[in-house]
Amino acid sequence: MAKTAAKSTKSQACWQQKLKYVASSPYLYTHVFVEKAQGAVLTDVDGKHYLDFAGGIGALNVGHRHPAVVAAVRRQLDKVTHTCYHVAPYEGYTEVCRKLAEVTPGRFPKKAVLFNSGAEAVENAVKIARAYTKRPAVISFDLAFHGRTMLAMTLTGKVRPYRSGFGPFPSGVYHAPYPYAYRRPPGVPAESLTEYCLAALEKMFVVEAPAEQVAAIIVEPIQGEGGFIVPTPGFLEGIRKICDQRGICLILDEIQSGFGRTGKMWGCDHFNVAPDLMTTAKSLAGGLPLSGVVGRADMLDAVHEGGLGGTFGGNPLACAAAVAVFDIFERENLVARGHKIGQIIKKRFDALAKKYDFVGDSRGLGPMRAVELVRNPKTKEPIKERDARWILERCVAKGLIILKAGSHNNVFRTLVPLVITEEQLTRGLDIFDEVLREFNPT
Ligand SMILES: Cc1ncc(COP(=O)(O)O)c(C=O)c1O
């Protein structure tokens, strides 16, 4: 628990009320009860400031309360807040779909459809792929994270905490290995990992489901919750090829990796791979709930009228925010800014890996960067869960919010708002370094 926050009366009172009334299942990284936020800084109910390296888990690439987002939402508030798109459409929805079609890779006619959460986008991408291909099965990857609804959870490749106790799961979902270079299967050299994983994928068509029954392969261009695992060269390209050869729809889940998070607009821009369908959410609407599926128009239009949608999907306020977000990216050149931030973090994280034995790996793309902490660099045994918690809490006590991830919760990752100032970024990285200096794995 973040002791500094708990000491103060107001935070403590909030905590007591939370314990009494809120279900204990939503995990809390920190006990910081937030009063307000701006840019890359959170302020708690007691007035303490925190540098925010979590950005609402990657939902705030334009920063908290970006003035243009706030102004757009205010304007929209004065017009209409909700009609339900199915009852009376509005231009904002079309505008977001148009922008998504324009800025996503792939030189083919594109369309989009909007929802609320990332999990919903994932569910609907699978529905679209099934409707188009008329096939049932879906392949995802070990350590993937695609959300918490029934199908998205089934696609997710991590038992604890996401799947444990929630079965039985929908059938027709299979997991293939993702190339985790730092933790390769025994006997597989680094240079053969791509080949090994692609062969394992091909083997699924023999062991699990014939290719002609597979509707889609869904993959994160860089794994997020799995621990910022960057795929080995040729892996995504190899999947694209397999999909093309077998008539399988390639769904790229860019929910965490999109909107400049990797130093390019989309994670897949690093690999020159265009998906048939892409899922997007998180930073799409600068902090408001909005998600979408964008991709091949013929695929999206394969679904019968009434087959997709929802009461709040593509809400007018969220659409107004999203239109502002696209504008901000252009005007403020946020992708280039992200690239620069990424270089700064990389330099510091690579230095941590040199300085501390327990920093086993420094990896990532652009500002989507992480360090993986181990008890022993030779055996790569992960640091203990309580040690990771200690680091996180020490950071919070010193005014930095930073998140864990990974199969053993031993990966510390940065999802900083891309509008963070260089001074704030440096201060946050200094705090992390200070805490690691104090750290001794138990
Ligand atoms: C890659 C990816 N897909 C899907 C999701 C689920 O999004 P949501 O939490 O909005 O349902 C997440 C959330 O972290 C994610 O990182």
Digits of tens for pLDDT over the chain (442 positions)? 444 444 558 999 999 999 999 999 999 999 999 999 999 999 999 999 999 999 999 999 999 999 999 999 999 999 999 999 999 999 999 999 999 999 999 999 999 999 999 999 999 999 999 999 999 999 999 999 999 999 999 999 999 999 999 999 999 999 999 999 999 999 999 999 999 999 999 999 999 999 999 999 999 999 999 999 999 999 999 999 999 999 999 999 999 999 999 999 999 999 989 999 999 999 999 999 999 999 999 999 999 999 999 999 999 999 999 999 999 999 999 999 999 999 999 999 999 999 999 999 999 999 999 999 999 999 999 999 999 999 999 999 999 999 999 999 999 999 999 999 999 999 999 999 999 999 999 9
**C-alpha angle 18/22/25, rounded to 5°?**
115
Residue-range domains of the chain with CATH: 3-65+333-438 (3.90.1150.10), 69-331 (3.40.640.10)
Q: Tell me, what's the pLDDT at 6?
A: 45
Ligand 1 pocket check for 255: Cβ under 6 Å: yes
- How remote is the CA of residue 282 from the centroid of ligand 1, in Å? 7
* DSSP-based helix, strand, coil % in the chain, nearest 5: 45, 20, 40
* 79 vs 71: CA distance, rounded Å: 13
In eight-state DSSP terms, residue 39 is B
CA–CA distances in Å: residue 383 to residues 257, 350, 360, 377: 26, 19, 10, 10
* Of the candidates 175, 178, 180, the residue with the CA atom closest to the CA atom of residue 198: 178
* Candidate from 60, 115, 145 with most ligand 1 atoms within 8 A of CB, to mutate: 145
The helix (run of H) or strand (run of E) holding residue 381 is strand 381-382
Pick the atom of ligand 1 nearest to 253's CA.
Answer: 1
Q: Is 188 helix (H, G, I), strand (E, B) or coil?
A: coil
DSSP of 246-302, one letter per residue? HT-EEEEE-TTTTTTTTSSSSGGGGTT---SEEEE-GGGGTTS--EEEEEEHHHHTT
* Of the candidates 50, 31, 37, 47, the residue with the CA atom closest to the CA atom of residue 400: 50
DSSP of 300-359, one letter per residue? HTTSPTTSS--SSTT-HHHHHHHHHHHHHHHHTTHHHHHHHHHHHHHHHHHHHHHH-TTE
Gyration radius of the chain's alpha carbons: 21
Contact assessment for residue 97 and residue 114, using Cβ atoms and an 8 Å cutoff? yes
Q: Is 89 helix (H, G, I), strand (E, B) or coil?
A: coil
- How remote is the CA of residue 330 from the centroid of ligand 1, in Å? 25
How far, rounded to the nearest angstrom, does the alpha carbon of residue 185 sit from its chain's CA centroid?
25
Task: Give the Cβ contact number of residue 118 at 10 Å.
Answer: 29
Residue nearest to atom 7 of ligand 1 (CA): 118
Strands 249-253 and 277-280: parallel
The two most distant CA atoms of the chain are separated, in Å, by: 63
Task: Give the Cβ contact number of residue 378 at 10 Å.
Answer: 8
- How remote is the CA of residue 377 from the centroid of ligand 1, in Å? 31
Ligand 1 pocket check for 224: Cβ under 6 Å: yes
- pTM here? 0.97
* Of the candidates 243, 228, 240, 264, the residue with the CA atom closest to the CA atom of residue 349: 228
The two tokens of residue 198 are 């692609």
- How remote is the CA of residue 148 from the centroid of ligand 1, in Å? 8
- How remote is the CA of residue 415 from the centroid of ligand 1, in Å? 14
Q: Tell me, what's the pLDDT at 9?
A: 87
Q: Tell me, what's the pLDDT at 8?
A: 59
Rounded to 5 degrees, φ, ψ at 134 are: 60, 35
Which residues fall within 8 angstroms of residue 88, CB to CB, at 6 or more apart?
none
The two tokens of residue 386 are 């309580």
In eight-state DSSP terms, residue 230 is P
Ligand 1 pocket check for 219: Cβ under 6 Å: no
* 175 vs 326: CA distance, rounded Å: 34
Q: Tell me, what's the pLDDT at 370?
A: 98
Ligand 1 pocket check for 172: Cβ under 6 Å: no
